[in-house]
Amino acid sequence: MEPIVLNGYHTLIAATLVLLLGRLLVKKIKFLQDFNIPEAVAGGLIAAAIIFSIYHWAGISFQFEKSLQNAFMLVFFSSIGLSADFSRLKQGGIPLVIFLVVVSVLIFVQNAVGVSLASAFGLDPKIGLITGSITLTGGHGTGAAWAETFTKQYGLPGVMEMAMASATFGLVAGGLIGGPVARRLVNNMKRGKKAYTKKVDTSADQYDGETFEEKDHVRFITASSTIETMALFAACLAFSSVMAANFSDLGLPQFVWALGFGVLLRNILTKVFKFDMFDRAIDVFGNASLSLFLAMALMSIKLWELAGLAGPMLIILLIQTLVMILYGYFITFRVMGKDYDAAILTAGHCGFGLGATPTAVANMQSVTETFGPSHKAFLIVPLVGAFFVDLINLGAITWFVKFLG
C-alpha cells in the first residue's frame, strides 16, 4: 500500500502534537523525569510506536515532509553559529581542545570495535565501519554518502539499508542513554535538584548569551528583531545550500556550511559593522527549531526497519551502545574533570556519539533543567558536535577505508 503523504502543514501540526505529548509524559511519568529523558524523545518514540502499530496491523505507513525537517535542522545549526561570538569561544579554551581529543579517540574506538566484530561474524570488515563512526558519530547523512561509495566501489549489497537502520538505532539510543548516564554521575556527587525559577530577559544588559542552556526562560523580543534575525537565518540557509551543491566533493554536510557561515556572519557584523546582534531572537528560533527537528526525526522513524535488523548487526550496535556508555562514564567524565560540568558534557557526548548534535543538546537540557545550568558544557558541546567532529570523522573513516583496502 502506498504511504499516506503528509504535506508541510500536516507535518508541522504532527510535530507540535508530538512535543506536547512528550511534555505531558515527562511531567506525569516519574520514570521519565528520574532518567532525564528529553521531551522530544519521549513523545517521538510514542508516536513512532503508534505508527509502527498502524503499519503492523493495517499495512498503512506515513511519509512526512522531509524538507521541513531539514530546514529546522539547518536553522538549529545556524543558531549555533550565530551565537558563536569569538570572544565567547575563547572561554572554551583548553577544555574544548581536551574534549575534542576525547571525542576523536572514541571515533577510532567505534571503528575498531565495528571492524573487529564484523570480522568475527564473518562479514566484510567495511560493514563494521557502517556500524561504527560512519552512522553513529556521522548520522544519516554521512551514512548515506558512504553507503553509496561502498556500493559503487566495492559492490557491497544492502549497505544503504544497513546505514539507515544503524543511524536510526543510534539516534534513538543516543537520546535514551545520555540522561540516565549523566544523572547517575550527578547523583554520585550528592548534588541536589535545583530550585527552578523562571527568568525573564527584558533589557539588553540582562541577556547572558546562554543560547540553549535555559530554553524555557522568557526572552523579550520584538517584531523588528524577529524579522532581522530571520534574515540572518535565511542568509545562512542560502549560503549552505549553494556551498553544499557546488562543493559536494569535500564531503561536508550542509549543516556544517550553515554553522560555519553563521560564525563568520555574526563576527563580521558585530566586530566590523558594530551590528547589534539580537541574541534573544536567535535563542527562541534555535530552541524551537531544535525541538521541532527532533520531533520530526523521531516520528519519522520506521521501527519495522529496526525490527528487521540482522542478528550480527544488531549485536554490533548493542555492543557499540555499551561502549559509548562505558566510555562516557569512565573516560569522558574523568578526563573532563569529574565535576558537574563533566557530567553534562558526558550527556552531550552520548547524544552525538551515537546520534546527533540536536540529541546531545536535548540530553543536556533535560539534565540541567533538574540539577542546574552548565555554561561550560553548552559552550563546548554544540561546537564540537556540530563542526569539529565531522571533520575528524571524515579523516578517520578515510584512513580506515584505505587501511582495509
> Residue 100: is its pLDDT beyond 50?
yes
> Average of pLDDT values for 354-379?
90
Q: Residue 89: is its pLDDT beyond 70? A: no
Q: Identify the CA nearest to 383 among candidates 84, 138, 93, 174.
A: 84
- pLDDT at residue number 207: 44
Supply the pLDDT for residue 215.
62
At 194, phi and psi to the nearest 5?
-80, 155
More confident residue, 302 or 101: 101
- pLDDT value of position 194: 66
Residues 6+ apart with CB under 8 A from 380: 92, 95, 96, 99, 345
Average pLDDT over residues 168-192: 91
Q: How far is CA 378 from the centre of its chain?
A: 13
Which residues does 33 contact at the CB level (< 8 Å), separation at least 6? 26, 27, 370
pLDDT, tens digit (0-9, with 9 covering 90-100), for 327-354 = 999 999 999 999 999 999 999 999 999 9
pLDDT digits (tens, 9 = 90+) for 157-174: 778 878 888 988 999 999
pLDDT (0 to 100) of residue 239: 96
- Residue 307's pLDDT is 64
pLDDT of residue 206: 46
**26 pLDDT higher than 80:** yes
E-state strands within 168-315? 200-201, 218-219
As a whole number, mean pLDDT of residues 178-199 equals: 79
The CB-side HSE value for 117 (13 A sphere, CA atoms) comes to 23
Question: Is the Cβ–Cβ distance between 136 and 171 less than 8 Å?
Answer: no
